[in-house]
Structure 1
Amino acid sequence: MFTLMELVQPQSLEEAYEILMKRKNNIVIGGSAFLRMGEKRIGTGIDLSNLNLNLIEETSDYIKIGAMTTLRDLEVSPILNKYFNGVIGNCVKDIIGVQFRNVVTVGASVFSKYGFSDLIVALLSLDTEVELYKGGRVKLEEFLNQKYEKDILVKVHIKKNNSKSIYKCMRNSRSDYPILNLAISKDDNNFKICVGARPQRATIAKEASEFISNNILNEENILKASEIACEELVFGSNMRASKEYRKAICKSLVKSALMEVSSC
């Protein structure tokens, strides 16, 4: 259980950022679902609830998701369910239970770059940018590869296009973290294969994505792409699965997802 010395609810992003930078152990908190699973001493917890960041908005070019939006909001959003084969709602709908999903926020999940995150791998398969208060808008892939710097994630922006995406995962039990998760998107003939919970954070299997995008989509090439993905990605072992098991699961899930997304 974490220890929180003080909780504040700023009235502006500038105020929130100033408080964040005052002390090393000041942090922005979301629903605190994952904080409760560890031990951490927090000086000042910064709650963004008063900043109107619980939102899902559609513009002509983008879908904007505020940092305080919950996973449950994503799951039931009629806007998100219209696009991308409903992959955003699909990737979160089986995470533990409704009460849990009513607490976990988008900002906390994405900014923390959790390796096990089902949401991050789905967002990565799309044309997604994150908006940081000081860092501005950057591609999600670039953000995931950056070194940690104190900042506030304000919104996530998903570009509206013709992408269809499929999400897959393997878990030891329904309420457990995934052993492996992935999302594969198709925009015309361009595929993007994204794999997470390796157990490292989600990444794009670029060689496999390029191969399947530039070759005829048939069973032989789908199998070849799944083999390429397994060889180019790095897998690790932890209490949930060995790296060898993750590699085998990756091959199976990539093959299944490619076959499914190709028919969308």
Structure 2
Amino acid sequence: MFTLSNLVQPETLETAYQILSDKRNNTILGGCAFLKMSSKRIGTAIDLSNLSLSYIKETDGFIEIGGMTSLRELETHTLLKESFNGVLPKAVCSIIGVQFRNCVTVGASVFSKYGFSDLITALLVLDTEVELYKDGRMPLVDFLKMPKQKDILVRLWIKLVNRKATYLNLRKSASDYSVLNVAVSKLNNHWTIVVGARPRRAAIASKASATLSKGTQSAAEVEAVAKEAADELSFGTNMRGSAEYRKALCKVLVKRAIMEVKACK
């Protein structure tokens, strides 16, 4: 269990960032789901509950999602169920349990860049941008490459286009983390393949995505692309599976995901 010396609930983002920057062990609180499993010692804990950052709405051709929005809200919101074949609700609906998803926030999940994240895998196949208080708005893929630093993830922006997408994963049990997760999307003739829980952070299989985009997506080509994605990416070993197992699983899940997207209407 984490410990803290002080708790504040600032009324503005400016104040929240100022307090965050004051000392190294000052920390933003999300839903505290993963903090509860740590032994972290926090100086001043910053609760963003008073900043009205829990929402999902359509804004000028984008889906805007506030940083304090819970995973349960992602799972149940009508706009997300009706967009991209419901890939975001599908990606989060199996995460541990409803009580847990009611606590975990979008901002904390994405900002922490967890390797096991189901949400990041799904977001990467969409046109997703993150908006940070200090560093501003940028593509999610660029944010994931940045070193960790003091900042606040204010909101996500997802371009609302006619993109078809799906998400698949394998878990040893319903409440466990993914052994491997995969998301695939298609916009016009452009395909994107993402593999996460490798157990490293989710990554785009760029070469395999380009090959699929240029082809006819025949059964033989899909088989070859799935192998290319597994060969292109690296995999590691942990208590949930070996690198060899994950590589073999990648071929299967990528192939299935491509076929699901092909069948989308």
Partner of 2:218: 218
Task: Give the SS at the match of 1:101.
Answer: helix
Whether 1:68 and 2:92 are equivalent positions in the alignment is: no
Partner of 1:182: 182
Partner of 1:7: 7
- Write out aligned runs for 1:68-107 (5 A): 68-107=68-107
Return the alpha-carbon distance in structure 1 between the equivalents of residues 39 and 189 of structure 2.
47
Q: Percent identity?
A: 58
Task: Give the SS at the match of 2:158.
Answer: strand
- Write out aligned runs for 1:106-121 (5 A): 106-121=106-121
**TM-score, with normalisation over the residues of structure 1?**
0.99
Task: Give the SS at the match of 2:78.
Answer: coil
Divergent runs of 4+, >3 A: none
Return the alpha-carbon distance in structure 1 between the equivalents of residues 205 and 187 of structure 2.
16
Return the alpha-carbon distance in structure 1 between the equivalents of residues 29 and 114 of structure 2.
15
Gaps of 5+ in 2: none
Letter of the aligned partner of 2:14 in structure 1? Answer: E
Partner of 1:17: 17
Task: Give the SS at the match of 1:212.
Answer: helix
Gaps of 5+ in 1: none
Cα shift at 1:60:
3.0
Count of residues in Structure 1 that have an aligned counterpart in Structure 2: 264
Return the alpha-carbon distance in structure 2 between the equivalents of residues 217 and 145 of structure 1.
30
Task: Give CA deviations for 1:188-222 in whole Å, capped at 9, x if unaligned.
Answer: 11110011100111110000000000011111000
Letter of the aligned partner of 1:230 in structure 2? Answer: A
**TM-score, with normalisation over the residues of structure 2?**
0.98
Letter of the aligned partner of 1:166 in structure 2? Answer: T
Cα shift at 1:36:
1.3
Cα shift at 1:59:
1.8
- Write out aligned runs for 1:165-204 (5 A): 165-204=165-204
Cα shift at 1:172:
1.0
The alignment's C-alpha RMSD in Å is 0.7
Partner of 1:242: 242
Return the alpha-carbon distance in structure 2 between the equivalents of residues 4 and 27 of structure 1.
9
Partner of 1:153: 153
Cα shift at 1:142:
0.4
Task: Give the SS at the match of 2:182.
Answer: strand
Letter of the aligned partner of 2:215 in structure 1? Answer: N
Task: Give CA deviations for 1:120-167 in whole Å, capped at 9, x if unaligned.
Answer: 110011000000001000100000011111100000000011111100
